[in-house]
Structure 1
Amino acid sequence: MKRYLFIILLACSFSVQAQSNINSYKYLIVPEKFSFLKQINQYGLNTETKASFEAKGFTVYFDNAELPTEIATDRCKALTVDILEKNSMFVTNLTLVLKDCKGTVVLKGKEGKSREKEYNTSYNAALKEAFASISDFHYVVGSTAEVSTPTPATATTPVPEVKTVATPANQPVATEAKQPDGLLYAQAIANGYQLIDAAPKIVLTLLKSSATDYFIASNGSVNGIVLKKNGNWFFEYYKNNVLVSEQLSIKF
């Protein structure tokens, strides 16, 4: 009995230690192509991985994006995301791994598995299950958080207060307009599209929203929205408190 208790306590200590290590990092780097894939963002796994970690509170960049100075000059301030594949004849197995700049594994999740026959469905289902294995890890920068416990059904989860700064009615928001650089081709992924230029290079990732012709967008360094106005597409985001409206030419 004591032996089993020791093993349980040891496992818990590793879990809390991994949580603590993760919380000392603010940034994650996701490769534009995982090593087991043949194409950039094949099956939409790279954009799905980026979006899932952003949902957990991390600031995530693709490795081909322009990085902020803080991590461009010191990559040890960011963790690198990797996915390990171990497939059998009928099962797709994916495991999420976070490594530091020395290649040391900071966090390794459990295998996500899928028996779906269609590749796109199978890989995305396995990735979703792999993320579910680390669902108890919640990122809180600079702190040591504990693994969460289930909330009773009768409990009410507090909604974080969002503070906004009101803009006077007579003070218009400055807008910087940019013209389109070239035609972008929309390639379907699991939850939206990736826009690719003639290089080819991924320029923007679009995630579907509940509204028609309205996407949550990211170019790896800037987050914003892509929407359709008067028959034209625009990528809008804030830069130095100025709203930038960048017109896009997209072929779906």
Structure 2
Amino acid sequence: MKRYLFIILLAISFSVQAQSNVANYKYIIVPEKFSFLKQVNQYGLNTLTKTLFEEKGFTVYFDNTEIPQEIAADRCKALVVELQEKNSMFVTNVSILLKDCRGAVVIKSNEGKSREKEYNTSYNLALRDAFTSFNDFNYVADQPTTATSTVPLPATTNAETKTVPVPVDQITTNKTEQQEALLYAQPVSNGYQLIDATPKIIMTLLKTSIADCYISNNGNANGIVIKKNGNWFFEYYKNNVLVSEKLLIKF
């Protein structure tokens, strides 16, 4: 149990440490055409990139539009987006790089993947998959925060209260119902991605040194996927409670 808890905390700490590098930036600039493509906004990737970062609270501009004086006077106040492509015969691979004014990489996403045959679909799915690296990050009113590092403050009352810590081994496990949909495991370079019949990427699994144990993220929570008694479970902490969701996976 302690080993699983350590893996969860390790996965969360990696996410927080990497994304904290973006904390000093409010503005992001997206090129009108990515270097590996031939046309402006081909496959809608530039527009999609702009939209995804705007949803995270950033102020985003295309590089072919008039940018505000604040950025024009000091380009080092903005990060520039670059997409890195590394395709194989059957898989579209895309990574997101954020670079500073000197061209140094501030943060690089995990490699997003898609096995769709149509480029328009595969590039969009791969980009969205890569963007899951930013799931726990939001920029709010000049005060960037990460969901994994935000701790809710307890409500205050007039009466004196005492906080009693709960031992780890006494934390209640809350098991939810098994997911109805069968999830298919697609191999990727460092593990698997779980997709449904749509196909839609539901969760990513990263290999660990422990058999049948993966560091995982479903877009809302970081945790682990482990095999117990012949069944797979996604386990993570929510409000200091260990949640264990049963999964139906076909490898």
The bucket for the TM-score relative to the shorter chain is 0.5 to 0.7
Cα contact 1:97–1:109 (8 A) shared by 2: yes
Q: Which runs of 5+ in 2 are unaligned?
A: 150-173, 176-251
Report percent identity of matched pairs: 70
Distance of aligned partners of 1:141 and 1:83 in 2 relative to their CA distance in 1, 3 Å threshold: farther
Bigger Cα displacement from structure 2, 114-123 vs 98-107:
98-107
SS in structure 1 opposite 2:126?
Answer: helix
What is the number of residues matched between the two proteins?
150
Asked whether 1:76 is paired with 2:96, we answer no
Counterpart of 1:157? Answer: none
**TM-score (ref. length: structure 1):** 0.53
Q: Verify the 8 A CA contact 2:16 2:148 in the aligned structure 1.
A: no
1:52 matched to 2:52: yes
The answer to whether the 8 A contact 2:116-2:122 is kept is yes
Contact residue 25 and residue 141 of structure 1 kept, 8 A: no
After TM superposition, give the deviation of residue 136 of structure 1 in Å. Answer: 1.5
> Is residue 131 of structure 2 the alignment partner of residue 131 of structure 1?
yes
Task: Report the residue type matching 1:146 in the other structure.
Answer: T
SS state at 1:139 partner: strand
1:103 aligned residue:
103
State the distance in 1 between where 2:5 and 2:102 align: 33
Task: Measure how far apart 1:24 and its partner are.
Answer: 1.2
CA apart distance, 1:101: 0.9
CA distance in 2, matches of 1:102, 1:111: 23
The whole-number CA distance in structure 2 between the counterparts of 1:10 and 1:134 is 17
Unaligned runs of 5+ in 1: 154-252
Residues in 2 aligned to 1:84 and 1:19: alpha-carbon distance in whole angstroms: 18
Q: In angstroms, what is the RMSD of aligned CA positions?
A: 2.8
CA distance in 1, matches of 2:140, 2:104: 21
Is 1:64 aligned to 2:56, yes or no? no
Shift of 1:107: 1.5
1:121–1:101 distance in 2 versus 1, CA, 3 Å:
same
Query: Equivalents in 2 of 1:145, 1:57: separation in Å?
Result: 10
Q: Distance in 2 between matches of 1:28 and 1:112?
A: 20
Residue 32 to residue 120, structure 1, CA distance change in 2 (3 Å): same
C-alpha change, 1:92 and 1:75, in structure 2 (3 Å) is: same
Question: Which amino acid counterpart does residue 32 of structure 1 have in structure 2?
Answer: E
* 1:135 to 1:38, Cα distance in 2 relative to 1, 3 A: same
Letter of the aligned partner of 1:87 in structure 2?
A: N
Structure 1's 25 and 12: CA in aligned 2 closer, same or farther, altered over 3 A?
same
| Alignment match, 1:184 | none
